[in-house]
Every structure is written in structure tokens, then in C-alpha cells.
């Protein structure tokens, strides 16, 4: 009898332990799982070096090596831009990519993230594997309120960064036709891509060719070209493929018949709706 009772007690104890584990697994462990999830998001950050250039409250340069020109100081870029070392600029393929940057290594650092866009190249920024040469505005955006000047005085910082999706609410992709374009040669600067921000490939389809997409070549920075060798037939549709996610979008008939070099043509599409 004692043996049976002891056996029953053991069974009840085992059941209780099992139930407790199951119960906690269903209910009690959620806060821990949440903490793990939050911690994992922190691991998305990687170290980088950071400097700044240009005016203390400016956009770094008047356009930079990506070719965006005066757009860098205007919305939606709004001077929150950066030149990138080789690993960020990627020979121009990194143009338009968005990153969050933050710092804690200086007493003026807020620890809050600022989002910046790669719009220029810093070929000499090779002291670290990843280096941001930020605009004065971007550098100051990492500072505590009222301490932007103090942070800029630090000169060189160790920061954290991560790649994020670009988000330009209400803005569609724009195509600025290069001034050197002519009836046989077409080149365009492409800007304001949501999502990845940078492009893997660009293809063009002519008006009278309903089947064939012709691959464009990267000319420099964010400028892509097609040297057809014969007269091109507008309007043109342009297909964009993003660099990381390989998402594809088509701006149908975005370059009209009678297009002109130097003009900007706005599409009605972007990677995020």
C-alpha cells in the first residue's frame, strides 16, 4: 500500500512537473522570448567608423559621386546623406542604399538612430572595413539635443550601423535624363527608390518593341546608359531590379516621345505601395 501510494505520489509529481513545463512553455516564457527577439534585433547592428565633411549643417557636397546633384539637400534626402567607403559605395552600385547609424562612444551621442542615404563616394575611407563619411547634418543627427556641434568636434567616431529599407512616402521614382543623351544614346539618373534603394540591373524597352528588354549598363554612380548604335524609339519603359531583394518594378512609358536631355520625368510607381 505504501509502495502504491509512493508510486502514485511520484506519478502526480511527474505530472505536475510536466504540466508546469507545458504551462510555462505556453504562457510564462513569452517575456523571455520577447527579450530574445529584442536582443536579436540589437545583433543586427555592426561596427563602423564615421567622419563628416562639408558644411556643419549641410549635405556634404553638391551632389557627390552618385550624381544626385542638388537633390541631396532637398526633400526627401534633406541633407541626411553620406559618402561611403568602398564597401558601401560598391563602385556606384551602393548609391541610394539607406542605413541607420547611431553612436554611444561620445558623451554627446544620443544613442538614437538616424537614417542616411549613400549619395557619394569616399575612396580614401579604408581605415575600417566599413566607413561612413557623413554630411554635417547626418553627423549631428546622432547627437543629443543641443549637442550636435560638440559631437562634430569629436571628428572621428566609432558608430554602429545597419542597412534598412528606404521609405519615401508619397514619392515615386524619378528619371533625370543625362545631358549627353541623343537619339542613339540614352542615359538617365535614377533616384528615390523605396525598399533596397540600390539597383542590381536596369532594362529598357522601346515603344515599337513589345517583347525585348535591352539591358542598360551602369555608366557611373546612379546613372545608367544604353548605347543603341541606332535611333531609339520612344516612349521608353524602364524595368528596375533591386540589388538585395531582387524585386522588379516597371515604369511603363515613363520617358515620353519627344523627351529632352536634362529633363526629369517622374514615374507613377515605386517598390513599396
HSE-up (13 A, CA, CB side) for residue 143: 18
Interval 163-207: pLDDT, tens:
999 999 999 999 999 999 999 999 999 999 999 999 999 999 999
pLDDT tens, position by position, for the chain (273 residues)?
A: 333 343 444 344 344 434 343 334 333 333 333 333 333 345 699 999 999 999 999 999 877 999 999 999 999 999 999 999 999 999 999 999 999 999 999 999 999 999 999 999 999 999 899 999 999 999 999 999 999 999 999 989 999 999 999 999 999 999 999 999 999 999 999 999 999 999 999 999 999 777 899 999 999 999 999 998 899 999 999 999 999 999 999 999 999 999 999 999 999 999 985
- Going along the chain from its start, the domains and CATH numbers come out as 46-164 (2.40.40.10), 174-266 (2.60.40.760)
Question: Of 49, 197, 195, nearest to 117 (Cα)?
Answer: 197
Longest dimension (CA), the chain: 102
Q: What is the dihedral of CA 247, 253, 258, 263, to 10 degrees?
A: -40
**148 in Cβ contact with 137 (< 8 Å):** no
Please, is 254 exposed, middle or buried when counting C-beta atoms within 10 Å of its C-beta (0-12, 13-18, 19+)? buried
Residue 61 pLDDT: 85
**48 in Cβ contact with 160 (< 8 Å):** yes
Q: Which residue(s) pair with 255 in the sheet?
A: 236
What residues have CB less than 8 Å from 266, skipping those under 6 apart?
A: 172, 173, 174, 175
φ/ψ (deg, to 5) at 68: -75, -15
Question: Of 101, 56, 99, 95, nearest to 79 (Cα)?
Answer: 56
**179 in Cβ contact with 223 (< 8 Å):** no
Interval 26-43: pLDDT, tens:
333 333 333 333 333 456
Amino acid at each position: 500500500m505504501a509502495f502504491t501510494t509512493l508510486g502514485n505520489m511520484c506519478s502526480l509529481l511527474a505530472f505536475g512537473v510536466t504540466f508546469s513545463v507545458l504551462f510555462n512553455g505556453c504562457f510564462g516564457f513569452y517575456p523571455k522570448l520577447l527579450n530574445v527577439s529584442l536582443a536579436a534585433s540589437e545583433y543586427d547592428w555592426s561596427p563602423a567608423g564615421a567622419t563628416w565633411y562639408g558644411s556643419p549643417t549641410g549635405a556634404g557636397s553638391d551632389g557627390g559621386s552618385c550624381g544626385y546633384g542638388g537633390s541631396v539637400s532637398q526633400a526627401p534626402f534633406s541633407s541626411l546623406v553620406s559618402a561611403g567607403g568602398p564597401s558601401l559605395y560598391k563602385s556606384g552600385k551602393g548609391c541610394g542604399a539607406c542605413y541607420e547609424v547611431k553612436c554611444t562612444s561620445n558623451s554627446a551621442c544620443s544613442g538614437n538612430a538616424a537614417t542616411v542615404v549613400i549619395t557619394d563616394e569616399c575612396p580614401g575611407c579604408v581605415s575600417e572595413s566599413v566607413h561612413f563619411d557623413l554630411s554635417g547634418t547626418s553627423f549631428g543627427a546622432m547627437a543629443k539635443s543641443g549637442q550636435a556641434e560638440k559631437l562634430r568636434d569629436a571628428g572621428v567616431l566609432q558608430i554602429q550601423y545597419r542597412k534598412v529599407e528606404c521609405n519615401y512616402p508619397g514619392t515615386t521614382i524619378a528619371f533625370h535624363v543625362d545631358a549627353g543623351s541623343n537619339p542613339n544614346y540614352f542615359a538617365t539618373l535614377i533616384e528615390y527608390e523605396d525598399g533596397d534603394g540600390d539597383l542590381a540591373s536596369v532594362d529598357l524597352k522601346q515603344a515599337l518593341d513589345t517583347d525585348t528588354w535591352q539591358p542598360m549598363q551602369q555608366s557611373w554612380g546612379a546613372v545608367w546608359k544604353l548605347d543603341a548604335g541606332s535611333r531609339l524609339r520612344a516612349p521608353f519603359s524602364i524595368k528596375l531590379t533591386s540589388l538585395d531583394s531582387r524585386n522588379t518594378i516597371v515604369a511603363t512609358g515613363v520617358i515620353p516621345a519627344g523627351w529632352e536631355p536634362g529633363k526629369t520625368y517622374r514615374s507613377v510607381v515605386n517598390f513599396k505601395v
